[in-house]
Chain A
Amino acid sequence: MSAPQSTLRFDLDAIARRIGGQIDKANGPSRVLDIGCGDGALMAALASDYGADVRGVELDPAKVERAVSKGLSVIQGDANTDLANYPDRSFNFAVLARTLQTTNRPDQVLEELLRVADVAFVSFPNFAHWRTRAALMFGGRMPVTNAIPISWYETENIHHVTVEDFRTLAAAKGAKITREWNFANERAISPLGANWRAEFALFELRLSQSR
């Protein structure tokens, strides 16, 4: 028998473990803001496993209702507009899992993320994965893959992004990438050639000291 599997999606599981490892209980419960929190799976895990003080923002009212009915503090809101109300550094960690590519202005959302929290986690499907490239190159059509399963006309992904694009954006925003994870077939892979090989990427960032 293998060890019990986490029920969290692989990128959320990586975030939970990473936050869990960094939680400084001496300074009271860590405060986490999960933007695009869905029905609150990561929030619930962080609260129960690590005693974190978690808040969520979610656009879909049905998901908000499910999260609130679990007793989680989630507001129905929009990453594009609702982060502005949070004071600077009001959280230890902010999470933006598979949401960046759905926002109107990913650059501004990233700025807000780095403003409200000391450490930000961002995950997204990598549009430069070889399957995506192949679909476009040989099929001549917008890719529909495991990582990008919805047709172009109904997907919520309005700003596709690649691993390389994100690194460039992070640097432009004065953020230092302190950790990077890459995933293919729902497993972590080595960062070697990540922009080709990763279906999903996850970054941990914080503002550089110089800023």
Chain B
Amino acid sequence: MISASKTYAISQSLPLDSGQVLDGARIAYETYGELNEDRSNAILICHALTGDQYVASTHPITGKPGWWERMVGPGKPIDTDRFHVICANVIGSCLGSTGPASIAPDGKPYAMRFPVITIRDMVRGLVALLDGLEIETLHAVVGGSMGGMQTLSLAANWPERASRVLVLASTARHSAQNIAFHELGRQAIMADPNWCDGDYYGGDAKPDNGLAVARMAAHITYLSEEGLTEKFGRRLQDRPDGTKGAKSFGFEADFQIESYLRYQGSGFTQRFDANSYLYITRAMDYFDLAEEHGGKLANAFARSTARFCLVSFDSDWLYPTSESRHVVHALNATSAKVSFVELSANAGHDSFLLPHDQLDRVVRGFVE
């Protein structure tokens, strides 16, 4: 659909949780639908780890449709005929916002000199963008997975900036298991000889193999066993020359699931920067909303008057229902207005991105 691609240059320096500051940061964002006269119909959508601002418009590199076109658009649950939808690339990423691949003031890419950022730092960038757009209060802030973490962080730290807070398939803290999978991905990147301590930008080769392995491992965590079995089972992959799949007694991608993961891994390297992957996974691992608020999650929401809605999926083992319930209980303890539902879907963590009529109705009803 029609969108406006823009970049906002943050004029002030952005203070970071690490104690460092980020100067001259830029935020690339897309908008959809008209902002009304009193600037009250804006919905901010926060993207996930490897997501981007192209929520409902064609991705410039892959040429694929926006990642949430089924949810965002004219007449869709997040209706761009009524709402002004903003989706921005987070800092640390690589689709136009300032990240490790960006040029530092000394004229060279930051690479590993880019400061380590947190989810709250990403949200600082988003809030600076809202300031720039003169949007004082969002009609809603919406996000799934890492987008849900940003959404919760915004609700906790800038409670006056959003009237509705919609969190899908997310968590208020990264678990040991979550960190473990991310560490596996980071080690795969850093073990790639082309990584060169992050200084690969001017060179001939990028750490594509390491990044692909990181993506493959992560991709498994986004799916459920049931979903994998249904989609691939033990089926064998047909050969490129069209012959029927057979065990090769070698290490080709004999099984369809292997072929699928390899495809996902290599496709990912076309559109994503390995260092961004390191920085963003680090930010997610550091995320613990209770820790930021004196160790008690309920404290995080003490100042909030927003309405909250959390949705989990029964087959999501990455951010399982218990994590959403943990947030819901903290919100109950502060007497916040909160809705929560666990929806049934067999696609695992990715369910929030896939067609689901009940999800559509919940989202539409909540953002009304």
A and B interact physically = yes
Interface segment out of the listed A10-18, A82-90, A102-110, A140-148: A82-90
Interface segment out of the listed A61-69, A121-129, A174-182: A61-69
Q: For B70, what are the chain A residues with a Cβ–Cβ distance below 8 Å? A: none
How many Å lie between the Cα of A77 and that of B344 in the bound state?
15
Report if A73-B307 is in contact (Cβ < 8 Å); known contacts: A68-B365, A68-B366, A90-B335.
Answer: yes
A86–B332 contact, CB under 8 A? yes
* Closest residue on chain A to residue B307 by CB atoms: A73
- The size of the chain B interface, using a CB distance under 8 A, is 23
B344–A61 contact, CB under 8 A? yes
How many Å lie between the Cα of A31 and that of B362 in the bound state?
23
Q: For B335, what are the chain A residues with a Cβ–Cβ distance below 8 Å? A: 31, 86-87, 90
Q: For B332, what are the chain A residues with a Cβ–Cβ distance below 8 Å? A: 75, 82, 85-86
**Contact with A65, one of B307, B333, B358, B368 (Cβ below 8 angstroms):** B358
* Cβ-based interface call for B364 (8 A): yes
Q: For A82, what are the chain B residues with a Cβ–Cβ distance below 8 Å? A: 329, 332
Question: Residue-by-residue, is B348-368 near A (CB-CB < 8 Å gives 1, otherwise 0)?
Answer: 000000000010011011101
Within 8 A of B (CB), among A68-104: 68-77, 82, 85-87, 90
* Cβ-based interface call for A206 (8 A): no
Question: Residue-by-residue, is A34-63 near B (CB-CB < 8 Å gives 1, otherwise 0)?
Answer: 000000000000000000010100000110
* Closest residue on chain A to residue B337 by CB atoms: A73
Within 8 A of B (CB), among A161-200: none
Q: For A31, what are the chain B residues with a Cβ–Cβ distance below 8 Å? A: 335
A76–B361 contact, CB under 8 A? no
B365–A61 contact, CB under 8 A? no
Question: Residue-by-residue, is B323-334 near A (CB-CB < 8 Å gives 1, otherwise 0)?
Answer: 001001100110
Q: For A61, what are the chain B residues with a Cβ–Cβ distance below 8 Å? A: 341-344, 358
B368–A86 contact, CB under 8 A? no
* Cβ-based interface call for B338 (8 A): yes
- The size of the chain A interface, using a CB distance under 8 A, is 24
Report if A69-B338 is in contact (Cβ < 8 Å); known contacts: A85-B333, A86-B333.
Answer: no
**Contact with B328, one of A53, A62, A75 (Cβ below 8 angstroms):** A75
A71–B365 contact, CB under 8 A? yes
B342–A76 contact, CB under 8 A? yes
Q: For A90, what are the chain B residues with a Cβ–Cβ distance below 8 Å? A: 335
* Cβ-based interface call for B339 (8 A): yes
A69–B365 contact, CB under 8 A? yes
How many Å lie between the Cα of A62 and that of B362 in the bound state?
11
A69–B361 contact, CB under 8 A? yes
**Contact with A75, one of B338, B358, B361, B362 (Cβ below 8 angstroms):** B338
CB distance from B100 to the nearest CB of A (A): 40
A68–B333 contact, CB under 8 A? no
Q: Which of B341, B342, B362 has the largest number of chain A CB atoms within 10 A?
A: B341
How many Å lie between the Cα of A61 and that of B344 in the bound state?
9
* Cβ-based interface call for B85 (8 A): no
Q: For B337, what are the chain A residues with a Cβ–Cβ distance below 8 Å? A: 53, 55, 73
Report if A64-B329 is in contact (Cβ < 8 Å); known contacts: A69-B362, A71-B366.
Answer: no
* Cβ-based interface call for B340 (8 A): yes
B366–A85 contact, CB under 8 A? no
A68–B362 contact, CB under 8 A? yes
Which 10 residue pairs are nearest across A and B when measured between Cβ atoms?
A69-B365, A75-B340, A85-B329, A69-B361, A85-B332, A73-B337, A64-B341, A68-B339, A76-B341, A65-B358
Binding site for A on B (CB under 8 A): 307, 309, 325, 328-329, 332-333, 335, 337-344, 358, 361-362, 364-366, 368
5 A-B residue pairings within 8 Å (CB atoms) = A61-B358, A65-B341, A65-B358, A68-B365, A86-B332
Known contacts A65-B341, A72-B339, A77-B328; can you find 17 more A-B pairs with CB under 8 A? A61-B343, A61-B344, A67-B339, A68-B309, A68-B341, A70-B365, A71-B365, A73-B307, A73-B338, A74-B339, A74-B340, A75-B332, A75-B340, A75-B341, A77-B325, A85-B332, A86-B332
